Structure 1
Amino acid sequence: MSDAQTSLGHPRALGTAAQTTKSRFSPTQLWRWTAGPAWLLAALVTWKWPDADDFPATNEFAALLLAVGLVLIAVAATGRLKDRAPWTVVLGLGFGAWELIQAKLLLLPRPFFGTPQDLLDVFLTDWKRLGDSLFHSLLLLTGGYLPGSILGIIIGLALGRSHHVRYWVRPVMRVIGPLPPVALLPLAFVVIPSTRWAGEALMALAAGFPVAVLTWSGVSAVDPAYYDVARTMGAKNRFLVLRVALPAATPQIFVGLFMGLGASFAMLVVAEMLGVKSGLGFYMQWAQGWAAYPNMYAALFVMSLMCTTLMTVLFKVRDHLLKWQKDGLKW
């Protein structure tokens, strides 16, 4: 080894040391170790800074922030807080800023803008009514979305495989399908005796149309050579539909299911606000009528959690059934 190498160190050793220093002070490490203190800072502001008014559950909210901050510090020490670290920092600072702006300084008009402890108080005191509203919303959504999706898949398969079905059903779909289901709500309440059944029927329409169109598109795009090979091996029409057309159209079907679920969510809220006297939409309307805006925001949060959970479940089902599909959209 030369004198220059002896004085400066071996190049490989220098590279290893540089990599170690770089990893030690990487942005990921900084985000990871900042997450917990951000929540602790929000807890300190909530606990020590006096409230500008008599707000409920201030101590409980400060304890919640403190607990989250300590958990994040413990998780950061294990090295598991990586990709979500920036979001946890932003959320902690966001809660602290919200607390400072509204609970401590009252910079936003009340009662339209509540405080974080107001929202926490709703979950602590009115969780039974929120849970009951969530249960009824899920029942109503299930009663409309599932039958509409199944019927949409059946109609889409029939449209893709039968010329006679296309001749009779396509004009009806072109007239009724593009109509917003909300526009049919008054007529549905008159024709259908139960407001609940009317809401479910309109949600079925909202889900069924995109599912039917995209299933039809997927079946029509199947290579005719697949059918020819199956017929050569003695396949019947039922086999062609269930084992050739349906699997080949599955990616398109899931696109329709995602679109139908979003349309059903929108129809669910409208139906509950205007006719069905239960569910999260009805709870939000009740809260708005009594100017209980923290209750309305709590219902919005629960609704968002419900929608994203159902969408996540649908994505998990898609990923399981379409394991062969690479680089698919992730939720």
Structure 2
Amino acid sequence: MKQVVKNAYWPQVVGSAAWLFTAGLTYLIPNADEFPRTITFALVCLGIAVLSAISLPLNKVRYYGAWILALAFFIGIWEVIQAKLLLLPRPFFGAPQELLDVFITDWYKLLNSLAHSMMLLVGGYILGCIIGFVIGVGMGWSKLFGYWAHPVLRFLGPLPPVAFLPLLFAVIPSSFVAGELLMAFAASFPVAVLTWSGIAGVNPSYYDVAKTMGAKPLFLIRHVAIPAALPFVFVGMFMALGSCFYMLVVAEMLGVKAGLGFYMQWAQGWAAYPNMYAALFIMAVMCTSFMTLLFKVRNRLLRWQKESIKW
């Protein structure tokens, strides 16, 4: 199927024509209201049409030809419905050029919010993964450690991290540190459970073979148990990343005074809905980029399972 799509020229050709048509209707048909950056948006659509036409010989771009066509169709319909006919109520729904205007005029605030969100997300996620990994290895390897840690994990782990939000923001003066701890808690539970399952499920014969060659317990943990449990660990890390995305928005909307979630809350309060949609778009790009990066790390470490799970 993928090869058939790569060899099909017509979706990209029609997509280029559709973007050219969208540029024409944006520029030539009068707007129903005053929308900024209309000419700039028409030029952007024209540029996409030219780039799509130029890149026609490239197989990688041609594979996404159907998406180029679909996006041109979606943007054109959106432009007609809102900018030309004004069928949707304002300010809740804006035109495509209003979204472009936000990226041009408010790029610094958006970039600053993205930087704060990334710092909060990366710090909390890494801390939570480390804590969860250590707990999971301890529970899977040591019965004594599991005796004490298992009840605590069962009692606190299923609690939604957002339940601790009022307590942490009241006890910890720094809202940023409180948000980091919330995301660390959200990430640690799935990583701990999946790491524990992976360590506990290692084939005992692996240990026996290593022991006959004089392997010590530390060697068994580092070179036998952990490598064999890595597929489970990465599943837990994927689940933890999704939990951190959720907690990032909640923490920034309710406590942290910076970041994309805070920007969205601010935009909604001022009825600046194009700004809110721009922040939502950037957040989606950020989240999918982190997930893609994590999959690339997984595919490099687990080469034998590269084709089993794809993103």
Q: Place the TM-score, normalised by the shorter chain, in its bin.
A: over 0.9
What is the number of residues matched between the two proteins?
Answer: 308
Matches within 5 A, 1:96-245: 96-245=76-225
**What SS does structure 2 have at the residue aligned with 1:109?**
coil
Q: Which amino acid aligns with 1:135?
A: A
Tell me the equivalent position of 1:44: 24
Q: 1:37 to 1:126 in 2, by over 3 A?
A: same
Check the 8 A contact 2:124/2:181 in 1, yes or no: yes
C-alpha distance in structure 1 between counterparts of 2:147 and 2:71, whole Å: 55
CA deviations 1:4-57 (Å, max 9, x no partner) are xxxxxxxxxxxxxxxxxxx99x98222132121111111111111100011000
**What SS does structure 1 have at the residue aligned with 2:173?**
coil
Q: Which amino acid aligns with 1:242?
A: R
C-alpha distance in structure 1 between counterparts of 2:299 and 2:170, whole Å: 42
**What SS does structure 2 have at the residue aligned with 1:324?**
helix
Which of 23, 43, 47 is the aligned partner of 1:67? 47
**What SS does structure 2 have at the residue aligned with 1:173?**
helix
**What SS does structure 1 have at the residue aligned with 2:304?**
coil
CA deviations 1:67-90 (Å, max 9, x no partner) are 000110111145553321111100
Tell me the equivalent position of 1:271: 251
Check the 8 A contact 2:7/2:62 in 1, yes or no: no
**What SS does structure 2 have at the residue aligned with 1:327?**
coil
Which of 234, 238, 254 is the aligned partner of 1:258? 238
Q: Which amino acid aligns with 1:270?
A: V
Which structure: larger Rg? 1
Tell me the equivalent position of 2:272: 292
**What SS does structure 2 have at the residue aligned with 1:193?**
coil
Q: 1:177 to 1:79 in 2, by over 3 A?
A: closer
Check the 8 A contact 2:79/2:96 in 1, yes or no: yes
Displacement of 1:191: 2.4
**What SS does structure 2 have at the residue aligned with 1:81?**
helix
Matches within 5 A, 1:69-84: 69-84=49-64
C-alpha distance in structure 2 between counterparts of 1:320 and 1:27, whole Å: 29
C-alpha distance in structure 2 between counterparts of 1:234 and 1:27, whole Å: 57
Tell me the equivalent position of 1:8: none
Normalising to structure 1: TM-score of the pair? 0.91
Check the 8 A contact 2:199/2:228 in 1, yes or no: yes
Tell me the equivalent position of 1:10: none
Tell me the equivalent position of 1:20: none
Displacement of 1:193: 2.4
Tell me the equivalent position of 1:308: 288
RMSD of aligned Cα (Å): 1.5
Tell me the equivalent position of 1:55: 35
- Structure 1: gaps spanning 5 or more residues: 1-22
C-alpha distance in structure 2 between counterparts of 1:39 and 1:222, whole Å: 54
Tell me the equivalent position of 1:4: none
Displacement of 1:192: 2.0
C-alpha distance in structure 1 between counterparts of 2:191 and 2:55, whole Å: 42
Q: Which amino acid aligns with 1:66?
A: L
Higher mean alpha-carbon deviation, 131-140 vs 321-330, is at 321-330
C-alpha distance in structure 1 between counterparts of 2:47 and 2:218, whole Å: 58
Check the 8 A contact 2:299/2:306 in 1, yes or no: no
**What SS does structure 1 have at the residue aligned with 2:62?**
coil
C-alpha distance in structure 1 between counterparts of 2:202 and 2:63, whole Å: 39
Tell me the equivalent position of 1:85: 65
**What SS does structure 2 have at the residue aligned with 1:235?**
coil
